[in-house]
Amino acid sequence: MSTTMTIRIESDLKERLDQLAEVTHRSKSFLAAEALRDFVELNEWQLQEIKTAIQEADEGDFASSQSVAETLGKWGVNAN
């Protein structure tokens, strides 16, 4: 199910969207909806990863300094 939403954007962004729609033979609505979907999905993922990391930190689930140093050493980085 779709719905209508009105937003304000800067004129230069509208011009760029117009050009992209013309070149790709897609509607501006389609391109805007895809961009919003990608933005929302990325931010939902990022927030979930942050939530998971906080939970792991609260549980004391950290890498030891030795483990970090060993991993960095594999990449040729001196942790000291």
When pLDDT is cut at 50, 70 and 90, the band that residue 77 belongs to is: confident
Domain assignment present for residue 53? The answer is: yes
Domain assignment present for residue 69? The answer is: yes
The 10s digit of each residue's pLDDT in 8-28 is 999 999 999 999 999 999 999
When pLDDT is cut at 50, 70 and 90, the band that residue 78 belongs to is: confident
> What does pTM read for this prediction?
0.72
Domain assignment present for residue 9? The answer is: no
Query: What amino acid occupies position 59?
Result: E
Residue 71 is predicted with a pLDDT of: 92
Query: What amino acid occupies position 16?
Result: R
Identify the CA nearest to 13 among candidates 38, 39, 31: 31
Q: How far is CA 19 from CA 11, 22, 24, 34, in A?
A: 12, 5, 9, 16
Percent of the chain surpassing pLDDT 70: 98
- What's the chain's average pLDDT? 95
Residue 9 is predicted with a pLDDT of: 97
b/e map 53-65, b = 16+ CB within 10 Å: eeeeeeeeeeeee
Domain assignment present for residue 6? The answer is: no
Domain assignment present for residue 7? The answer is: no
Identify the CA nearest to 21 among candidates 32, 12, 10, 11: 32
How many domains does the chain contain in total?
A: 1
Domain assignment present for residue 35? The answer is: yes
Which residue segment(s) compose the domain that 46 sits in?
16-22+29-74
